[in-house]
Amino acid sequence: MARPTPRTDALQARAITTLWRLLAKRHPATLWRLARVTGPLVHRASRRERRVTEINLAQVYPELSATERRRLARESLTHSAATMLELGLAWMAPPERVEAAILEVHGRELLDEARAEGRGVIVLAPHFGNWEVLNYWLSSHFPFTAMYEPPKIAPLDAVTRRGRERRGASLVPTNARGVAALLKALKRSEAVGILPDQEPSWGSGVFAPFFGRLAYTATLLPKLVARTEARVVTGVARRIPGRGFAIHFLAADARVYAPDEGESAAGVNACVEAAIALAPAQYQWEYKRYRKVIQQQQGRSDYRAFRLY
């Protein structure tokens, strides 16, 4: 497939940005109704997302019937559609409207206690609910730094940055310079955000259990903890369909503080599992979380290798 031209990228970015601006004017209830319409269309039309979602669900919930997993897959893709529709709200709506959509905050004391002790806070933010709403809330209440990778459509970079930084968040690159910035923020007793469920490049992770199956997991966390003695919490913005969002901060699995990278990675995955348990359909199951273990074990890069399990 030919790479889109810069002109095509610019046109796509303009259309997407215009759509987000229009959607930013809508109430979360309206956005959820739109997601209920578009989600089934995504489920039917997006063969890749549907297949990967169903494969992942078969791995993590083998006790469910095939019918139950198909229903959960449809619900998951509906929530993924909702997240995309809600980006305008999180990035462009007036602050008072975003704040009004955040109906509940649970576990804030975990962050407040750490900062009162002079410790930084590492927020593990998995792809659950609407993580952009979580970023909005965190950057509105704490000095907050997060790693950032530009979108594939380059002209959307400025829009994405402006949306994520508008409440004061500091975005840093996903490289050594970015890690150094995270360390400095933690030593200033600030909060930083890490995506715990994003598969790292080879050499930057270890295999650790995730729902009973090995998944290649980043080892950045133990390095940050060892050098800063930061507190670790899991943070998510759970969608309350048709109403808004509930922010949840959960105490981390004790293993995340282990100096051994494998044990710490297992703790990180346990944190993600605990967040998913809040509402399994709100996790982004279309991500190929087990891809590298398949590559290593089967010498294959395609997800069809799951048929060999």
192-233 pLDDT per residue, tens = 999 999 888 888 899 999 999 999 999 999 889 989 989 999
Answer yes or no: is 267 within a domain. Answer: yes
Answer yes or no: is 1 within a domain. Answer: no
Of 123-127, 196-200, 223-227, 302-306, the poorest mean pLDDT is in 302-306
Confidence band for 107, pLDDT divided at 50, 70 and 90: very high
Q: Is 31 helix (H, G, I), strand (E, B) or coil?
A: helix
Q: How far apart are CA 176 and CA 147, in angstroms?
A: 11
Assess contact for 237 and 246: CB atoms under 8 A. Answer: yes
As for how many domains the chain has, the answer is: 1
Answer yes or no: is 80 within a domain. Answer: yes
Determine the structural domain holding residue 108 and report its residue range: 6-308
Phi, psi of 80 (to 5 degrees): -65, -40
Whether the pLDDT of residue 5 is over 80: the answer is: no
Whether the pLDDT of residue 13 is over 60: the answer is: yes
168: left (phi over 0), alpha (psi -120 to 50) or beta: left
Q: How far apart are CA 31 and CA 240, in angstroms?
A: 12
Residues with Cβ within 8 Å of residue 76, at least 6 apart in sequence: 53, 57, 280, 281, 282, 283, 284, 285, 286
> What percent of the chain is modeled with pLDDT above 70?
94
Answer yes or no: is 15 within a domain. Answer: yes
| Residue 279 pLDDT | 98
pLDDT digits (tens, 9 = 90+) for 80-91: 999 999 999 999
Residue ranges in the chain assigned as alpha helix (H): 6-23, 28-45, 47-60, 66-85, 87-92, 95-101, 108-116, 131-141, 157-165, 176-187, 220-228, 261-276, 291-298
Assess contact for 278 and 236: CB atoms under 8 A. Answer: yes
Of 6-10, 176-180, 247-251, the poorest mean pLDDT is in 6-10
Answer yes or no: is 159 within a domain. Answer: yes
| Residue 4 pLDDT | 63
β-strand partners of 205: 218
Q: How far apart are CA 258 and CA 226, in angstroms?
A: 9
- pTM over cut 0.85: yes
Answer yes or no: is 140 within a domain. Answer: yes
Q: Which residue has the tokens 């004017």?
A: 25
